Structure 1
Amino acid sequence: MKKTLLAVLTASLLSANSFGNNGEIGNLIDEARNQNLSEEELATITELKNESKRIKAQTKEEMTSLTETKASEQSMLIQTKKTIYELRETMDPQTYENLLTSLTEQEKNIAGNSVEASDQDLSRYPIYIFASQSMGDAALKSLYAGVAGEKNVFIIFRGILPGENLASFSKRQHMLYKPEKDDENETRTFFPPNIQINPVLFRHFNVTDVPQMVIADPEHLNGNSTCMSYANGADISDVCYLSRISGISNHVYLQEEAKKSHFGNLGKLGDVLQISEPDMAEEMKRRAMAYDWKKAAERAKDNFFRDRKPVYLPTAIYRRTRYVDPSITVQEDVKDAYGKILLPRGMMINPLKHTLMTGKYVIFNATDKAEIQRVTDYVSAHPDDDFTFMIDDIYHDDSENGWNEYEKLVKAFKQRVYLMPDNLPHELGVMVTPTVVYADNEKQVLILEELGKIGQKTPNKSIAVEKRYQYE
């Protein structure tokens, strides 16, 4: 039993697989003591344990040296590629291509012979490609086609061109990435690229020319990330990235470099251009500072009533009460996301079956003193009711007088007064002013009280329920 245990312990101490498994070795030594091994046998075990530690330390040193050698070779290859790029105009094209192919093969060999080959999962890291319209339509069109459908790849612009607006910018970019028809009738499946205007990212990553690419690490997930500090108001914040490169816009190349553990700033591998768009955030600040807000407010106030076209409903002659069915007819089938018909065409829907209408809506012409008096008398006669006042017109040709009259109304009714939407009479069946509109929620009809002249008899005392659009 002792010899068997000693053999197992010796094998475990000498095994490379147990270098990091100190807990198992400790358990074996404790068990050896419990088995009453001799002092000589315990001394042998201690000597073997010390030898195991020495081998482990030597192996770690060799692995570190090998990793440093790999990193050095990779750095030399990157520098060589940069030098070849700078001298490309002095070479014939075939020689240039052959050199790049050779260097790429060497990179693959180094990555394949590494002690612990890097296999970075880059799907969780956003890739920013900083672009500008100065790159030209052809370059942008090629860029958009290359990133279409890539969920974690974003093309970032700093702003829009002087004299351009967001609508024209969007239309211009759409023309560059929209799919082309394969034939007269079919269009191939297409996923548009992720295009953003984000001047903040340009500043945070200190991008001053294009194209540039960055594999960002916004959540600081990777210990290999490079972080840059920037002013965030009164505080100092940082933004981190795994790898970045300028002069090219092929995101696949940058991803492959990161997978080979080529982190940090990989330098410039192509021509760069100036950014033609100004910083949108700074441009907005500049325009806001230059804008005369006080003058604009005065102009808006002056034009508020003048720009509105009043409905001009006729004044009520008779005092009468009308009953209106507010039902609407569904004009087209209403379907859900799966094509199931929820509301078929021709179906009648009464909104009062699904919701309660509370309070009373008073619609009147604020330029007619007699109408204002009728409304005032009606409100006084119904002190417990909740009213919403909506006016048809209020001196739209005289802005100053319009505001004065509006303030008088607010003061008289002790609450806010609203301008009536143009389509409201049509929707509620209002034909004259002043009219008070409220609902009989139990019978599911609208009640319209037309406030004609005091004491005037109504020629029609019928209480038949009207259809809302029967007079069209």
Structure 2
Amino acid sequence: MPRAATLAATLLIASAGVSASDAVLDGIDAIVEQAQRIEKQAEQAPYPAWLEGAPLTPAQREGVESIARDAARIEGSARTGDAAEMLGVDPAGEASGAASTASGYRVEILVSWALGEEALREIAAEVSSYPNAVMIFRGIPEGQRFRDAIKRLHALLAGLDPVPAVTIDPPRFERLGTDEVPAIAVYAGGEPIAQARGTYGIRHMLARVRAGARGDLGAIGPTVTATEPNLIEVLKQRLASLDLTASQQRAAERYWGKLRYLELPQATEPRSRRFDPSLMVTADIKNARGNVIAPAGSRINPLDLMPFHERLLVFDASRPEQVALARELAARYRDRRLVLIASGLDRAAGWDGFKQMQDGFRAPVYLLNEPIRARFHIERVPALIDAEGRDIVVREIPPPAGE
């Protein structure tokens, strides 16, 4: 999940005294979205209501549930560089000194199990040293179950503190135009400015970038070909094998229309609010090693545990004027990652309308849930949410008059 959502999860963890968090699903691809049309609310109910009216065969149902479970776990970490959700690690146990890498760059290292566990362990240790770096797989080894792949990865990362950021994100391989690993890319402002193959040395790569190196720097050392199949293609093939009928697809669309949104009033005037997110710990919070880092009865500020480098933009996607303002704000605020969250959606436009709107932002759009709304004190939209020092700041921005 994005670090914005992880911060909210940390707030919830602190108040509940547990070391688990709910995934916020985003939809990395239309294929994954299709799977979630059928079982989007898997965490809230065993089956969506529409299954009663258009039942699947037992084999189809198991296939749908399996895809939805895999998609949920993958999407909880994909595109975010957050290993906590993927590995089941308590976010409160992550490093308290998280900060940007040298010069504020973001670093991605493409990897594969074909490199061997010893090399992957070295890369993981390198990534662990840089909170703004992430190691990326294209998928899971062919023939291996997702849960087994995660257990294997968990064992690989055991003992590393902080836990390095790990994602499964096939489009990153496509964006850099390579299936050779290791490959390293340095990003600035969301765009890759330099990349190289055959190396994973972050310090060396950043030094070259600071010295003016740009573009594809070629092969610096030996590489191997990533052997994992593209996970999106795997999900696509699995979904195609289900042979869903047109009536079931229509039932899925009706299910979309029944989804409940947290509809919030539109901001009518600019307003800024600041609050301290500190909470009373109701039960001991432990890190991944089992050490108590916050005893019951103490007060903690989640921002001390996990600096909040993102910015949240919450808006009502069913109102064109708010969507237009959200696009303007997304273009304006490029100094940090902007997480888009919709408090409402256009039911009439359905899934196709949602995907079209999301494609317009060229970024995932998340659905606002009650824990996020409550923890960030969201009252009106559009709203920008930032961290300033040890406080959370919520700024309500009304759309221009006449829109």
> Which protein shows a greater Rg?
1
TM superposition score category, shorter chain reference: 0.3 to 0.5
